[in-house]
Structure 1
Amino acid sequence: MTRLSARALTLAYEDRVVVDGLDLAVPDGKVTVIVGPNACGKSTTLRPLGRLLKPRSGAVLLDGAALSSLPTRQIAQTIGLLPQSPVAREAITVGDLVARGRQPHQHWWQQWSKEDERAVTDAMARTSVSDLADRPVDELSGGQRQRVWIAMALAQDTDLLLLDEPTTFLDIAHQVEVLDLVRRLNHDRGRTVVAVLHDLNQAARYADHLIAMKAGRVVAEGPPSEVVTAELVHEVFGLASIVIPDPVTGSPLVPQSTPITAPVSGSGCASTWTTKDAYQWPRVSL
Structure 2
Amino acid sequence: MTRLQARELTLAYEDRTVVRGLDLAVPDGEVTVIVGPNACGKSTTLRALGRLLRPKEGAVLLDGTALAKLPTKKIAQQIGLLPQSPVAPEAITVADLVARGRQPHQHWWQQWSDDDERAVTEAMERTDVSDLAERSVDELSGGQRQRVWIAMALAQETSLLLLDEPTTFLDISHQVEVLDLVRQLNHDKGRTVVVVLHDLNQAARYADHLVAMRAGSVVASGPPSEVVTAELVREVFGLDCVVVPDPVTGSPLVVPGAPWGA
**TM-score, normalised via structure 2 length:** 0.99
- 1:5 maps to a residue whose letter is Q
Q: What is the rounded CA distance, in whole Å, between the counterparts of 1:126 and 1:255 in structure 2?
A: 32
Q: What is the rounded CA distance, in whole Å, between the counterparts of 1:104 and 1:76 in structure 2?
A: 6
Give the total of aligned pairs: 262
- Larger RCO, structure (CA 8 Å, separation 6 or more): 2
Aligned counterpart, 2:250: 250
- 2:207 maps to a residue whose letter is A
Aligned structure 1 segments of 4 or more residues deviating by more than 4 angstroms: none
Aligned counterpart, 1:234: 234
Aligned counterpart, 2:137: 137
The structure with the larger Rg is 1
Aligned counterpart, 2:167: 167
Deviations 1:230-274 (A, max 9, x none): 00000000000000000000000002322488xxxxxxxxxx5xx
Contact map agreement 2:239 2:256 (CA 8 A) in 1: no
The answer to whether 1:110 aligns with 2:110 is yes
Gaps of 5+ in 1: 262-271, 273-286
Q: What is the rounded CA distance, in whole Å, between the counterparts of 2:112 and 2:102 in structure 1?
A: 9
Aligned counterpart, 2:77: 77
What CA RMSD, in Å, does the superposition of the two structures yield over aligned residues? 0.9
| Percent of matched pairs sharing the same residue | 82
Q: What is the rounded CA distance, in whole Å, between the counterparts of 1:141 and 1:213 in structure 2?
A: 32
CA 1:156–1:25: 2 relative to 1, 3 Å: same
Aligned counterpart, 1:283: none
Contact map agreement 2:240 2:256 (CA 8 A) in 1: no
Q: What is the rounded CA distance, in whole Å, between the counterparts of 1:111 and 1:255 in structure 2?
A: 52
SS in 1 for 2:118: helix
The answer to whether 1:206 aligns with 2:206 is yes
- 1:26 maps to a residue whose letter is V
Q: What is the rounded CA distance, in whole Å, between the counterparts of 1:78 and 1:173 in structure 2?
A: 30
SS in 2 for 1:247: coil
Aligned counterpart, 1:93: 93
Aligned counterpart, 2:44: 44
**TM-score, normalised via structure 1 length:** 0.91
